[in-house]
Chain A
Amino acid sequence: MTRTLGVFRGYRVHARALRLLAGVALLCFASRSVAAETPRAATPSTIAAPDSPVATASAPTGVVPPTDTTPRAPPEARTSDADTSEPPPAPPATPPDGVPGTTNATAAPSVTQAPDNSIEEQGTLKYALDGIEVRGNGKTRSRVVLRYVPFRPGDIFDVDDPRVELTRYRLLGTGFFRDVQLSLRKGRLRGHVVLIVEVVERNTLVVNDLWMGLAATASTVGTALPLTPYAGLDAAETNLAGTGMTLGAAAGIAHDQYALRLRFFDPSLFLGKEWMTSGTLLFNHANDFFGNHDVGFVNPLEKQLDNSVAVVQYERFGGTVGVGRDLSVTTQFWANYRLERINAHVPLSANDLRGNGSQAEREPIDFYIQRDKSVLSTLSATVQHDTRDKPILATRGWFASVTTEVSLSPLGSDYAYARIDAMASKWWTLPWEHVLRLRLFGGAISGRAPSFERYFVGDLSDFRAARVLGLNVERRLAPNFFHTDVGEVRYGDYAAKFDAEYRIPLYRGTRAVYGIDVFARAGVYFIAGQKDITQPPRGYSGAGLIPVDFTANFGLQMDTSAGGFTFAFANLLGFIPGLGNGQ
């Protein structure tokens, strides 16, 4: 049983949560200690061609000594501007025996011998690559840098190969480095070179997400609270101890609820270069709200009857492990296994009025979660296709994903269900530079998924607060603009949403703020439980039996050096009395 150690600003702190946090701190400390104790060469590290004498004859640091015996002044220091249409005379050369390109140079008539023993073919210069040297990586391990370099010692290195420039951008794109420069220096023989990858490292502790908002929630005994704030933060170290691995943590807090996450991602450590691995640990101390109208329930904690909403208080502890791989540059596949232990305090009995007006009937509430301890065990697979030109303020391209999840008793699960979600978004830039996006989402659950896995009206309506790290902070029902039976639905087994977003660029910059757009979004969504379809609530007829509602939002979207921000106002509009059934 979970012990309550104390109360901090009204939030109960549990022993398990403290243990989890202590574990995170210990892991971080350990990784830093390992990094600090591991002797790291201050000198550059090199990989060399296997058949090259460099590997054995070079200095202990592995640096290849240049063999040019004719030192010259650096080009910046030279004053004589001796332009010529012919190359300058070559310095004394080592015999070119064994230079991979030399044979080709003499065999092909279209190939000309460059002044050194490198190969020059139709203006393209090629060398034999003796090794790759990584410089400037005080923290990041050389193997992490070399993972992104598509060249290997022994290759013929074409200076015009587009992969050279792409390698630079790809290293920059990891976020580990502030600057990356590639250069060549002389190798062991004439016509041989060493590729130097010089990096300047940067801080890799990043904030991935930040949530702040207002919601109408309820206390654990079901007393309605008119306005409560919630917040969350997701941060990560993306280059843990220089290994290229990501360790992230996230926390969310709301009234009498909190959530903790610890995540791990490794691009290729365990399963080789082709596979990625990830893991997540989670702990949620959360509430879910049930009941639509005139709710009555007996709270197991307070042993009293209330009539606002029925509250289920529960804890989730567990995690996921996953493997993924890139199917192409734009398509990625992931498979995950999840195991969670759930401990729920379910009301002893609860009921509410279901239906419209005088035809409403009092029915028991189904909480979709097992009382006391239960286990959730699932397998899921996701395929994601992303051709957006940029993740924030995208102007064209597709983003689509399909996820399937199965929870079965043979996997040790107390919940038997299957779920499939599909989502597709498409962006267009209009001739007048405005941006249009259409988005379609659809999902279905078969079986009895726990309440926190079911579709939630707050996740679909912009006028209600969405769940944050699995915390439900919203007790209100849908605004119900169309006066349908969506006003009877809080959680559903089927959901769909279609919306269109129109963006007008206000500002484009290159420094701290990259772009600001004003946006307006509108759409419709559908949410229904199995019971809403098989036994629809009474008092509705015709189109009123289709649980659909309108959603809209407007505000500003910003792309900045600190990340993407959205300032939207629909959540506030949701508190205006008379807007739907907003309270």
Chain B
Amino acid sequence: MSTRRSPRRAALAQRFVAFACFFCCLLAPHAALADEPPTPRTASFEWDDAKRELYVSLSFREVVDDEIKRKLSRGLPATIVFTGTLYRRGVKAPISTTAQTCKITWHVWDEAYRLEVTRPDGSRTRWTTTLEGVLRRCAEVSRLLVATSKEVAAGVSVYLRGRVDVNPLSAEVLEKIKLWVNRPARTGTAAPGDALFSTFTGLFMQRVGAAERTLELLTFEMLPIVGGAPKNEI
């Protein structure tokens, strides 16, 4: 009795192996990208003279890429939100959190940017005519209050995990978009229950994230210095 497989079965097996390889190749790079930790970056941690308040300064200008730069001068508001969580060396529980939001509106007729910056120490509105001014105010945090002496003692090394969102969508708006796109008025399916559900609609919904750009941040661990610069740097 012959043990050789029939050509038909061999061809089927080859197709199965080819499909499996294709599937693995499709998945492998994305699986690798799924949870890549951010590269640590330099930041400055600074206590005030009385060692009561701890401030952080760092830059995340790379979040404003060319597309976002172009978008900033389109006359419609853009928002850059920074949120950070402070950690102590060797302790997984966070010490404190901080945030800065920056709303940028290009005034079409005045040809100037209106910046509304909100931080723990208050809100300010500024005007600038240059993109550099926008980046300095909104793509950096300068002496942002991050903790007090009640939360962390002076002389303790700390690091910060942060996240920057450009044009984040509120949960309410996100939900509305998903509902609207899912079953948009006067668009969509050929008939209820039909297979002709717009493929693009479904696929697009998978890409509706919580923000247009998101950047995860991690700072090096360092011992805060004691400084004396003015507190309010908005």
Where the two chains meet, the residues of A that have a C-beta atom closer than 8 Å to any C-beta of B are 68, 72, 74-76, 78-88, 90-91, 114-118, 123, 125, 127, 147-148, 159-160, 162, 164-166, 169-170, 172-175, 181-186, 190-191, 193, 204, 206-209, 234, 236, 238, 244, 246, 248, 250, 263-265, 267-268, 273-274, 276, 278, 280, 320, 322, 324, 326, 329-330, 332, 334, 336, 382-384, 386-392, 401, 403, 507-516, 559, 561, 563-564
Tell me how many residues of B have a C-beta within 8 Å of chain A. 73
Return 16 A-B CB contacts under 8 Å, by A number.
A72-B111, A75-B129, A75-B131, A81-B130, A86-B127, A116-B107, A165-B173, A169-B180, A173-B204, A236-B196, A244-B187, A267-B188, A329-B185, A387-B179, A512-B26, A514-B203
Residues of A within 8 A of B195 (CB): 208-209, 234, 250
Q: Which residue of A lies closest to B179 (CB)?
A: A329
> How many Å from the CB of A317 to the closest CB on chain B?
19
Question: Which residue in B108, B136, B189, B205 is a CB contact (below 8 Å) of A173?
Answer: B205
Question: Do A127 and B196 touch across chains, with their CB atoms under 8 A apart?
Answer: no
Interface assignment of B186: CB less than 8 Å from any CB of chain A: yes
A75 to B111, Cβ gap below 8 A? yes
Which residues does chain B contribute within 8 Å of A509, judged by CB atoms? 30-31, 33-34
Distance in Å from the Cβ of B169 to the closest Cβ of chain A?
7
List which B32-74 residues lie within 8 A (CB) of chain A.
Answer: 33-34, 69, 71-74
A510 to B186 alpha-carbon distance, docked (Å): 28
Least distance between B112 CB and chain A CB atoms (Å): 5
Q: In residues 207-228 of chain B, which contact A (Cβ within 8 Å)?
A: 207-209
A127: B residues at CB distance < 8 A: 108
A residues within 8 A CB of B178?
389-390
A135 → chain B closest CB, angstroms: 12
Contact indicator A169/B77 (Cβ below 8 Å):
no
- CB-based nearest B residue for A556: B23
* Chain B interface main SS type: mixed
Interface check B125, CB cutoff 8 A: yes
* Complex CA–CA separation, A273 to B206 (angstroms): 28
Q: How far is the CB of B217 from chain A (nearest CB, A)?
A: 19
Asked whether B157 is an interface residue with its Cβ less than 8 Å from the other chain, the reply is no
Which 8 pairs from chain A and chain B are nearest by CB? Answer: A175-B200, A184-B75, A183-B74, A173-B181, A116-B109, A384-B192, A267-B186, A265-B190
Q: Are B127's CB and A83's CB within 8 A?
A: yes
B201 proximal to A (CB < 8 A)? yes
Given contacts A186-B109, A208-B196, A386-B183, A159 and B77 within 8 Å (CB-CB) = yes
A250 to B196, CA, bound (A): 10
| Inter-chain contacts of A236 with B (CB < 8 A) | 196
Whether the Cβ atoms of B109 and A170 lie closer than 8 Å is no
Does A329 contact B196, Cβ atoms closer than 8 Å?
no
Q: Are B73 and A76 in contact (CB under 8 A)?
A: yes
A383 partner residues in chain B, CB cutoff 8 A: 192
B186 touching A326, Cβ below 8 Å: yes
Q: B191 near A273 (CB under 8 angstroms)?
A: no
Report the bound CA distance from A553 to B125 in whole Å.
60
- The residue of chain B having its C-beta at the shortest distance from the C-beta of A232 within the complex is B195
Q: Residue B124 at the A interface, CB < 8 A?
A: yes
Q: B232 near A: Cβ within 8 Å?
A: no
Known: A159-B77, A173-B205. A388 touches B169 (CB 8 A): no
A82 CA to B129 CA in the complex, in Å?
6
Q: Which listed residue (B126, B194, B205, B206) contacts A85, Cβ 8 A?
A: B126
- Extra 7 A-B pairs, beta carbons < 8 Å, given A78-B129, A83-B128, A159-B75: A159-B76, A184-B74, A234-B195, A322-B191, A382-B191, A391-B202, A512-B26
**One of B77, B184, B197 near A170 (C-beta < 8 A):** B184
Give the CA-CA distance A507 to B28 in the complex, in Å. 11
Min Cβ gap B4→A in Å is 22
Residue in B77, B114, B186 with the greatest tally of chain A CB atoms within 10 Å: B186
Chain B residues closer than 8 Å to A320, beta-carbon distance:
191
Q: Is the C-beta of B91 less than 8 angstroms from some C-beta in chain A? A: no
A182 and B76 contact, Cβ closer than 8 Å, known pairs A78-B130, A87-B114: yes
B176: interface (CB < 8 Å): yes
Compute the total of residue contacts between A and B using a CB distance below 8 Å: 259
Residues on A with C-beta less than 8 A from B200 are 173-175, 204, 206, 238
0/1 per residue, B68-95, Cβ < 8 Å to A? Answer: 0101111111000000000000000000
B81 nearest CB across to chain A (Å)? 15
A244–B225 Cα gap in the complex (Å)?
62
Please tell me if the beta carbons of B76 and A512 are within 8 angstroms of each other in the complex: no
Contact B129 A561 (CB under 8 A): no
In the bound assembly, the distance between CA atoms of A336 and B190 in angstroms comes to 11
CA distance A329 to B27 in the complex (A): 35
Which residues of A are found within 8 Å of B187, using beta-carbon distances? 173-174, 244, 267
Contact between A80 and B129, CB atoms less than 8 A apart: yes
Which chain A residues border B188 with CB–CB below 8 Å?
A: 267, 332
- Contacts A116-B107, A334-B191, A507-B31; A326 near B185 (Cβ below 8 A): yes
- Min Cβ gap A514→B in Å is 4
B206 to chain A, nearest CB (A): 4
B73 near A74 with CB under 8 A, answer yes
- How far, in angstroms, from A175 to B200 measured CA to CA in the complex? 5
Closest to B113 in A: A75
- Chain A residues within 8 Å of B203, by CB: 514, 561, 563
Are A78 and B107 in contact, CB atoms less than 8 angstroms apart? no
Q: Which of A172, A234, A250, A330 has the most CB of B within 10 A?
A: A172
> Are A183 and B110 neighbours in the complex by a CB distance under 8 Å?
no
Closest chain B CB from A382 CB (angstroms) = 5
Q: How far is the CA of A330 from the CA of B51 in the complex (A)?
A: 56
B210 nearest CB across to chain A (Å):
12
A390 partner residues in chain B, CB cutoff 8 A? 178, 182, 202, 205-206
Given contacts A83-B133, A87-B127, contact A170 B196 (CB under 8 A): no
CA distance A391 to B194 in the complex (A): 13
In the complex formed, the residue of B with least CB distance to A274 is: B186
- Knowing A79-B130, A273-B186, A510-B207 touch, does A246 contact B179 (C-beta < 8 A)? no
Chain B residues closer than 8 Å to A391, beta-carbon distance: 182, 197, 201-202, 205
| Contact pick for B69, options A76, A91, A278, A382, CB 8 Å | A76
Which residue on chain B has the smallest CB distance to residue A72? B111
Task: Give the distance in Å from the alpha carbon of A108 to the alpha carbon of B221 in the complex.
Answer: 53
Q: Chain B: which residue is nearest A564 at the CB level?
A: B202
